[in-house]
Chain A
């Protein structure tokens, strides 16, 4: 069974840091492009960032609101995706999901998704 399990969420003060993890199983993690998506309270889904597979260059891309503060990384030996979040702001409060990005003929989609981990930024 393909599964993604996030961990590491919690309460952090503004300006603080947090690292989220996402452990993958049931598929060849090293071949997958991995993404983080978040949902703030009462808001829609928002893409955070992506890391490509090492065979596709291992490059990262980020949404403008988090660029320079968040870093997506991966450890293929541990089948684990990470999101390092620094300089956290109250606007970063959200449930954070990791998801696998698949594609056929360059058209990509997210499947599956983890169950999410809640990050609350508050003083």
Chain B
């Protein structure tokens, strides 16, 4: 199974900050990497697919990069509605696996 490791597990940031979250795969997954935003009691929301493609309707302050084993989700200027948990997911092979999540909290 491919293990997905996210860091940090949580972070505190202020509105307007630039935030970077990393995700590392236990083996190369090419660009088979997606990012989701998850708020309590809500359905997870797709932000980025195929490592760097912005899902339709997602604000351009979100971006993704990387390939192989190392990936990054960047929020260029944090807004109040961005406080949530973010997780990565590999679609390279089954079992499909997720990272443990990064909780972005208000400083």
Contact = CB atoms under 8 A, between A and B. Distances in A.
Contacts of A112: 43, 45-46
B55 A47 contact: no
B95 A64 contact: yes
B62 interface: no
A107 B46 CA distance: 14
B89 A110 contact: yes
A46 B97 CA distance: 7
Contacts of B101: 44-45
A107 B43 contact: no
A113 B44 contact: yes
Contacts of B31: 107
A114 B43 contact: yes
B94 A110 contact: no
- Report the contact-size class of chain B (Cβ under 8 Å from the partner): 20 to 34
Nearest to B44: A113
24 contacts: A37-B44, A45-B38, A45-B87, A45-B98, A45-B101, A47-B94, A47-B96, A47-B98, A50-B96, A61-B94, A63-B95, A64-B95, A97-B44, A108-B32, A108-B91, A109-B49, A109-B50, A110-B44, A110-B89, A111-B46, A111-B49, A111-B55, A113-B45, A116-B43
Interface of B: 31-32, 34, 36, 38, 42-46, 49-50, 55, 87, 89, 91, 94-101
Closest 8 CB pairs of A and B: A109-B49, A113-B43, A111-B46, A108-B91, A47-B96, A45-B98, A109-B34, A107-B50
Given A45-B36, A115-B42, A115-B43, 10 more contacts: A44-B99, A45-B98, A47-B95, A50-B94, A104-B50, A107-B32, A109-B46, A109-B89, A110-B89, A113-B45
